Amino acid sequence: MSILSERLAQYDAPQKAKALGVYPYFRPISSDQDTIVQINGKPVLMMGSNSYLGLTNHPRIKEGAIKATEKYGTGCAGSRFLNGTLDIHLELEERLAKLVGKEEAMVYATGFTVNSGVIPCLGGRQDYLYLDRLNHASIIEGSRLSMAKQFKYRHNDMEELEKFLQKAEPDKIKMIVSDGVFSMEGDVCNLPEMVKLAKKYNASIMIDEAHSLGFFGEHGAGVCEHFGLSDEVELVMGTFSKSLATIGGFVASNKDVINFLRHNSRTFIFSASITPAATGAVLAALDVMQEETWRPKQLWANTHRMLDAFRRIGFEIGHTTTPIIPLFVRDNEKTFRLTQMLLEDGIFVNPVVSPAVPSEDTLIRISLMATHTFDQIDEAVEKITKNAKLLGII
């Protein structure tokens, strides 16, 4: 056995979880991503999907993907930079820029490669990068590739952010990057205070709208629109894998920023283009999002119903105000056991354990869809409560 194989063979956490019968990952689903999915031939209530608007099986979006495939084929066989730019890519970029109130946009093959490819371009060795400690892994990965001086401020702590900004040289780039809605905790960034600090210290802001696009703001553009601060945020990124029902991502900004990124962002230049099917699906999803305005309204109604229920019962749910609801367990093994017990009880949830979070912060992550019914929400609350009491969590 090689040194590499020998060393990696020491990693046995999955094997231990499987031996205990509580391994919670790679559970195969044999149906579409709806409120009810099929697992091992049985119907399971899906409470762990990021399909916030419930569009993944929408007939118009399927049709958009099929028509694009029929016209353009299954792939572009190259990067956007060379042979892989289609006219529908340009159409999509124009529509996304308009949605988030920016001059131009760029579409990437995945949301992860937006952050990992954009952030390294936003400053050099003499510049500064400021990051919320609970930012998404893709932001963290992008920051690892950046040459800028980096400061991580406590979650949503604008006082600490200001202390870091005070130390920066005034004539250098100062880039603040934050999730709009934090993907595990479900709370919203303090964008109004962040904008005040950016103006005070001549800094720029990039907001990740992955978990807010589609249901925050009057037109679903995200938290920047929600706060009325789109013009104050220099870069906005978003993904297609949540509300927009497929895979891919984008970044939008002014013409000068996008021009630089088009010719310097390595994950854009050296990755194959987003597929015609995904592009056609997003274009159709944007149409549906604009026309079926009941979806975000119902999503918020579902959110309030479940949040109120969990608070009334006594679950610890942190500061969430969104369809992402963390139920803190604060114990790795209990988190695994609760996930497995719920699956056996017909409820699918996602466990979040160390090293993703400290062991004392483990949680069950619930995420709601606009297509959930009140009866389904009530059923999930009842079964989660029953099993949490059996484990002594509440």
Catalytic residue list: 183, 211, 242
How many CA atoms are closer than 13 Å to the CA of 304, on its beta-carbon side? 5
Please report where in the chains the tokens 């340009």 appear, as a residue: 90
d(CA 317, CA 327): 5
Residue 79, SS3 per DSSP: strand
Report CA torsion sign: 222, 135, 307, 228: negative
d(CA 253, CA 274): 20
The type of residue at 72 is: Y
Say if CB 211 and CB 139 are below 8 A apart: no
Please report where in the chains the tokens 């209530």 appear, as a residue: 45
What are the backbone angles phi and psi of residue 156, rounded to the nearest 5°? 60, 25
How many CA atoms are closer than 13 Å to the CA of 53, on its beta-carbon side? 31
Residue 77, SS3 per DSSP: coil
From the list 87, 82, 141, the residue with the least C-alpha distance to 110 is 141
Report CA torsion sign: 311, 317, 319, 320: negative
d(CA 210, CA 180): 8
